[in-house]
Amino acid sequence: MNYKKAKYLMGAAELIQLPEDYGVEVAFAGRSNAGKSSALNALTEQKALARVSKTPGRTQLINLFTLEEHKRLVDLPGYGYAKVSNKLKDNWQRTLEDYLTTRQCLYGIILLVDARHPIKNFDCMMIEAAVEYGLNMHILLTKADKLNNKEKAQSEKLLRDYLDQLKTSERLSFQLFSSLKGTGLNKLRDKLDSWYSAFDDDFAQ
């Protein structure tokens, strides 16, 4: 997949505004300061495909980007940090939950978690939701460039221990990642390629 060809399609405030529920979508999710926009820009080698802001929580829409026909990347609203009203936060959470549970073309989720901190409640909720609904999930332990080797190993161990408790690893995977240094970028592309290829195989049958 040539991710350099990604193009902005639209931003949707409500699910009803999304394109036809067909094809395959891979959604990027995470806390508002986890580095979603930076990861999307690094993946596509475009400086401003996804808006990067110094103010966490600026992504308030479901933003869609086209790759090839019927293949899309999705930037979901950040959660858990944005300095907005509780009413708006609640609305974002409902929209996010509805998207995850009803969008049939959603094939997998890239969940971004800051490697410098223990996994948060919202991240756990996302992971457990993916398990419950049988979604593929690949977790990026972001900002790995800010950790030494010992800290990286500890971050991976903590996440691995948590995932082991769920007793279901078939659809869950993770890696260290740094948008700034490009750490893990090829591994991320390989994961996405495998998901989009699986859709092609299913479609051909």
CA 85 to chain centre: 24
pLDDT at site 109: 96
pLDDT bin (cut points 50, 70, 90) of residue 77 is confident
Give pLDDT tens digits for 87-127: 666 777 788 888 989 999 999 999 999 999 989 888 998 89
Q: Are 32 and 79 within 8 A, CB to CB? A: yes
| Domain of residue 188, CATH code | 3.40.50.300
pLDDT at site 14: 86
What range does the domain containing 36 cover?
3-204
pLDDT at site 3: 95
Read off the pTM.
Answer: 0.90
If one counts the domains in the chain, the total is 1
* Edge-to-edge order in the sheet of strand 136-142: 7-12, 62-68, 71-75, 24-30, 106-114, 136-142, 172-176
